[in-house]
């Protein structure tokens, strides 16, 4: 029981309560991963068979970390737990039970690109207007339907859905959905949404299967329960229906994925499903300083729909939250970059100690430009992952086709790559013949001389090659099979012969993939090591599992959505402006606005030691200079936790009373009244001039001076802050800091090597 000693009383109580329905409300930084881990370990130590435990997470990374921790406590028993993401766990279940719903056990899992490719082909065949029937829109529509357990039959029979589609001029959506579903079925493929949709179908229509897994999964735990959608909710409810030994862990204040179908009501109304529920609240934040926690609490207190809790920190009080005001988005980037440079130098920090978080990806441009100018290394997260690169997807398509020759998308991707004399016309003839004779394209190719007019010999040779790969995979290890396919498909040779820089990079990427497969095939912690299992793991990677190397010494740039689950010593949250954060789209309903506020709460709680917030008073949008107003969220923060420089005072005095009461709500304002404009409009020429007039205009011929001999009392000019007097100097070369009182904005502390000051005259 040594593992219980490091828990606080509430954490320990949650771990020890192993019977019946349990809800653990885990505030930000409250150690929920430790609680989940120890609770599972305690179940095993209490005599529960590890084979009877199901743990559902939202990233493979989280599942891996938990399993490793449980292994330290319980040893090899950790391997037997069914643990992973919803998609990975139920993909595993479907591999066993797929034939009951008409699918092969070796079904392919389509990623988003595969799904959209199928949809584009359908739209082209139906000759539909791509302005009305954009592939992205259609894919999202079908995805939303599946997440709400609406199949194509129900979609076509629902009068309200049909009325909405016809009124928008998209009356063919039901037919597209049907064709898409049938084409995936013919290809023996499921998309990501199908993994949950088909699991629900299986459990609903096959009581024997439901009973089997209800008996198997005697104890269920679900992490990040606030992010579950209707489909996930129903699977969990069905599996837990007999014993009700279910424990959900989450934080309603961090529910930020409504756009993916997540339903916050799942956690808010959990007690209605389980009246005997026991609730534990983890309220001590071990991550952030007291000031940061206090700011987060003051923000989220404005939401009506929430489970009340009192998050606190026993760490040091910490710095107040610095608020920076810039005249433009470019200046905002410059201010953030300079602040990072100074703090790194002053406190001997690493670049990876800093993160810049923003509401939309487009905001990264001004940040990137500013960081590059100061030669600050950075990395943007959420970009193209390794497994989305073309050459990687090409080789994996060969793997997919080897295990599932009916996979039409994989076939179309590689049938003529590398080039083997099978043109688009021939491929079209194969597809048409497949539709006509109700066969798969691969079945047509196997009998090409019978079904395809003017079939080239290379068509049959291609099919023979794929069949030879099937034999290889049965007799060789994952790595040996992968290497054989890469070589004999011609892909490796094609990339090797491309001597350009891009070609070399692509060849090295393939080598890296093969290295990864070799490492996978030599792992001792897994029993199944076939190439097909490796492919399944790759297909089920979540965005949060990709491309996040905590050891890379770079400043991290990412959207706030991407930052969930991460933490950094210093965090800069940028772009706190109306119509940007909160976004313009969120101002039409309270629920949308509250989700934006939860997103701000998530951003704030990523910071461990220091948090800075910034906004710009003007920003270019579609080529037009827009007058920006500070975000209403700033108004909700208690001013006593903020560090408000004069430079942070906005141009519009009506928004703040004065510096001491900045961002405090006016006495006569109503908290439920949102009076801010919903649409940002381009300011008139007069307004634009008044904004820019606040900025100092450098003197003619302004040029930074050599400040190595700067002394207290000297008069200086700064290109942005204006004229000022040196009050004090501290530190040693080359990191001397000057405290300067500027006439227009007050006192500031600057690092001389970056300040670019012009000395006006000597001591008075």
Residues contributing to the annotated binding site for ATP: 26-33
Among residues 315, 606, 619, 748, the one annotated as catalytic is 606
Between CA 451 and CA 453 the distance in angstroms is 7
For CA atoms 39, 43, 44, 45, the dihedral sign is: positive
Report the C-alpha gap between 653 and 664 in whole angstroms. Answer: 13
**Mapping DSSP to helix (H, G, I), strand (E, B) and coil, where does residue 616 land?**
strand
How far, in Å, CA of 166 to CA of 162, rounded? 6
CB 555 within 8 A of CB 376: yes
Handedness of CA 259, 262, 267, 273 (dihedral sign): positive
Of 3, 78, 2, whose CA–CA distance to 35 is shortest? 3
As separate numbers, helices (DSSP H) first and strands (DSSP E) second, the chain gives 32, 22
Which residue in 623, 624, 615 sits closest to 644, CA to CA?
615
223 is catalytic: yes
Contacts of 229 (CB under 8 A, 6+ apart): 147, 148, 260, 261, 262, 263
60 CB-near residues (< 8 Å, 6+ apart): 84, 85, 88, 537, 540, 541, 542, 545
Is 146 a known active-site residue? no
Determine whether 227 is an active site residue: no
Catalytic residue among 223, 227, 594, 636: 223
| Nearest to 505, CA basis, from 552, 379, 513 | 513
Please give the DSSP secondary-structure letter assigned to residue 284: B
CB 25 within 8 A of CB 309: yes
Residue ranges for the binding site?
26-33
Which run of H or of E encompasses 110? strand 108-110
Among candidate residues 254, 402, 426, 536, the one labeled active-site is 254
Maximum pairwise Cα distance, the chain: 100
**The tokens 């080529």 sit on which residue?**
623
The C-alpha atoms of residue 272 and residue 556 are separated, in whole angstroms, by: 41
Contact predicate 239/213, CB 8 Å: yes
The b/e string for 644-653 (b: 16+ C-beta within 10 A; e otherwise) is beebbbbbee
- Annotated catalytic residue: which of 17, 33, 156, 749? 33
Specify whether 425 is catalytic: no
Is residue 360 flagged as an active site residue? no
CA distance 19 to 395: 48
The catalytic position among 32, 315, 320, 609 is: 32
Distance, C-alpha 584 to centroid of its chain:
21
- Kindly state the DSSP code that residue 662 receives in the 8-state scheme: T
592 is known as an active-site residue: no
Catalytic-labelled residue, pool 224, 331, 353, 596: 224
Active site residues per annotation: 32-33, 223-224, 254, 606
């Amino acid at each position: 029981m040594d593992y219980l000693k490091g828990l606080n009383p509430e954490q320990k109580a949650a771990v020890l309560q192993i019977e019946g329905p349990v809800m653990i409300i885990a505030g930000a930084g409250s150690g929920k991963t430790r609680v989940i881990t120890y609770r599972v370990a305690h179940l095993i130590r209490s005599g529960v068979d590890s084979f009877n435990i199901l743990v559902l997470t939202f990233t493979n990374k989280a599942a891996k970390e938990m399993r490793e921790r449980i292994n330290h406590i319980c040893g090899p028993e950790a391997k037997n737990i069914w643990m992973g993401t919803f998609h990975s766990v139920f993909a595993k279940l479907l591999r066993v039970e797929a034939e009951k719903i008409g699918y092969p056990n070796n079904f392919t899992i389509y990623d988003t690109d595969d799904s959209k490719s199928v949809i584009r082909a359908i739209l082209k065949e139906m000759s539909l207007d791509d302005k009305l029937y954009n592939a992205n829109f259609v894919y999202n529509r079908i995805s939303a339907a599946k997440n709400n357990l609406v199949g194509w039959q129900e979609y076509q029979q629902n009068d309200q859905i049909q009325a909405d589609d016809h009124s928008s001029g998209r009356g063919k959506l039901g037919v597209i959905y049907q064709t898409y579903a049938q084409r995936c079925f013919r290809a023996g493929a499921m998309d990501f949404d199908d993994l949950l949709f088909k699991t629900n179908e299986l459990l609903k229509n096959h009581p024997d299967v439901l009973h089997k897994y209800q008996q198997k999964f005697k104890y269920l735990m679900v992490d990040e329960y606030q992010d579950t959608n209707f489909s996930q909710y129903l699977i969990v409810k069905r599996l837990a229906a007999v014993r009700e030994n279910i424990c959900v862990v989450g934080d309603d204040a961090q529910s930020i994925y409504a756009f993916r179908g997540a339903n916050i009501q799942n956690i808010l109304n959990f007690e209605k499903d389980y009246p005997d529920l026991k609730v534990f609240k983890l309220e001590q934040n071990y991550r952030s300083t007291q000031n940061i926690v206090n700011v987060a609490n003051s923000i989220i207190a404005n939401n009506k729909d929430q489970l009340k809790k009192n998050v606190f920190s026993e760490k040091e009080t910490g710095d107040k939250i610095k608020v920076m005001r810039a005249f433009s988005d470019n200046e905002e980037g410059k201010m953030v970059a300079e602040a990072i440079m100074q703090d790194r130098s002053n406190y001997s920090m690493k670049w990876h100690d800093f993160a810049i978080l923003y509401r939309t990806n487009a905001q990264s441009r001004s940040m990137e430009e500013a960081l590059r100018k100061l030669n600050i290394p950075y990395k943007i997260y959420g970009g193209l992952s390794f497994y989305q690169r073309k050459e990687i997807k090409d080789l994996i398509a060969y793997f997919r086709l080897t295990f599932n020759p009916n996979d039409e998308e994989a076939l179309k991707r590689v049938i003529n790559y590398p080039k083997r004399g099978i043109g688009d016309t021939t491929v079209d003839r194969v597809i048409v013949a497949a539709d006509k004779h109700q066969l798969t394209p691969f079945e047509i190719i196997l009998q090409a001389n019978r079904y395809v007019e003017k079939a080239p010999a290379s068509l049959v040779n291609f099919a023979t090659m794929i069949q030879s790969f099937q034999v290889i995979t049965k007799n060789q290890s994952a790595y040996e099979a992968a290497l054989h396919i890469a070589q004999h498909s011609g892909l490796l040779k094609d990339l090797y012969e491309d001597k350009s820089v891009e070609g070399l990079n692509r060849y090295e990427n393939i080598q890296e993939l093969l290295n990864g497969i070799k490492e996978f095939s030599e792992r001792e912690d897994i029993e199944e090591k076939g190439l097909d299992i490796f492919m399944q793991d790759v297909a089920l990677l979540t965005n949060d599992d990709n491309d996040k190397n905590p050891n890379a010494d770079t400043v991290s740039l990412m959207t706030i959505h991407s930052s969930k689950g991460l933490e950094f010593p210093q965090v800069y949250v940028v772009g706190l402006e109306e119509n940007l954060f909160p976004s313009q789209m969120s101002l039409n309903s309270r629920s949308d606005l509250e989700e934006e506020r939860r997103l701000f709460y998530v951003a704030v709680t990523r910071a461990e030691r220091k948090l800075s917030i910034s906004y710009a008073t003007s920003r270019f949008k579609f080529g037009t200079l827009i007058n920006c107003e500070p975000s209403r969220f700033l108004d909700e923060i208690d001013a006593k936790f903020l560090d408000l420089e004069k430079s942070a005072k906005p141009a519009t005095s009506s928004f703040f009373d004065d510096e001491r009461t900045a961002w405090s709500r006016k006495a006569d304002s109503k908290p439920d009244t949102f009076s801010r404009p919903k649409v940002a409009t381009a300011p008139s020429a007069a307004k634009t001039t008044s904004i820019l007039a606040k900025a100092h205009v450098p003197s003619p011929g302004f040029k930074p001076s050599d400040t190595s001999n700067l002394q207290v009392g000297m008069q200086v000019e700064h290109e942005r802050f204006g004229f000022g007097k040196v009050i004090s100097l501290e530190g040693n070369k080359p990191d001397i800091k000057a405290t300067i009182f500027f006439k227009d904005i007050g006192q500031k502390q600057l690092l001389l090597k970056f300040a670019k000051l012009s000395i006006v005259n000597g001591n008075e």
